[in-house]
Chains A and B, each alone.
Chain A
């Protein structure tokens, strides 16, 4: 399965291109900063640390739709990076911890949706959410920072030998033929 993913023409194209992986990775960073940046706005509101003068529901409506847009962007670019070297990422410890943390973040959000948010009418205008909501918010911040840290560590613990800038083709040819290179 992992081998097959790496052999798909899409994965091969990304691996062979000088530009694809850096551009996909940059887009991934744009997506993830928007995900964390918007989630932090909601979490700080739940904790009573910022935007306390705004009803929670309005703030969430203004913010979370952008979180989802950014999350889709991040997930798509993340998947594209994964398939270029699936077997290496799959066995990387930080990658596994990151996926586990993402699952925890989803679970954390589910807990919030089925408990605290059901009764939002009672605390919508309060300066902070009820205790469980505050715990969820604090956990959310910690988990997402963990996702960022483990994500960064993946880059430091996996080698992308095939992605290291290959020499331009002409230069290789010149070397092969024993011709003098361009200075």
Chain B
């Protein structure tokens, strides 16, 4: 991975970002944070609806129709800005424990979001009548929110990978 990161850092898009890093990196990071905010707002509202704490005058389908597209769109924005950050600072991103742990959780979080939206569309009545009230689905809603919280933690910790001690590849050399 270190080899790949070093190779990537010598490519022209990476060199461009490195040469303009005083504004390119903060700009991309700021857009990335705005994207995370839209994800957090959307996930919070869908989860609160499942818990019955908000949007109770709307059906689960109505709530998901409102936030689902914003959630999906923001995830694409995060993917694009995320890739740009990796291109701009390959070693800083790829040679960390936090980054790979974050990617694993992003895969889980995104899969849950996609499966949930698909299942709701297929079995709408069952979700509205019984599933949304079941304890296990409510537990999954809380768990999903916590996964996104952990993703933010790990994202910020990429800059402080030393907190993982010997788990961090950059500490091991």
Chain A positions near chain B (C-beta within 8 angstroms): 18-19, 21-23, 25-26, 29-30, 32-38, 40-41, 50-51, 53-54, 58, 62-63, 66, 145, 148-149, 152-153, 156, 165
Contacts and interface: CB of A to CB of B under 8 A. Distances in A.
Contacts of A36: 34, 37, 41
A18 B26 contact: no
Given A36-B37, A54-B57, A66-B44, A30 B160 contact: no
B152 A33 contact: yes
Interface string B16-52: 0000001001110110011011111110110010000
B29 A152 contact: yes
Nearest to B157: A22
Interface residues of B, number: 35
Interface in B120-153: 149, 152-153
B156 interface: yes
B144 to A, nearest CB: 15
A54 B67 CA distance: 13
A50 B41 contact: no
Interface of B: 22, 25-27, 29-30, 33-34, 36-42, 44-45, 48, 54-55, 57-58, 62, 66, 70, 149, 152-153, 155-157, 159-160, 162-163
Instruction: Specify the main secondary structure of chain B where it touches its partner.
Output: helix
Contacts, number: 89
A7 to B, nearest CB: 24
A34 B41 contact: yes
18 contacts: A22-B156, A26-B152, A26-B153, A32-B37, A33-B36, A34-B37, A37-B41, A37-B42, A53-B62, A54-B57, A58-B57, A62-B54, A63-B45, A66-B48, A148-B30, A149-B26, A156-B22, A165-B160
A153 B25 CA distance: 10
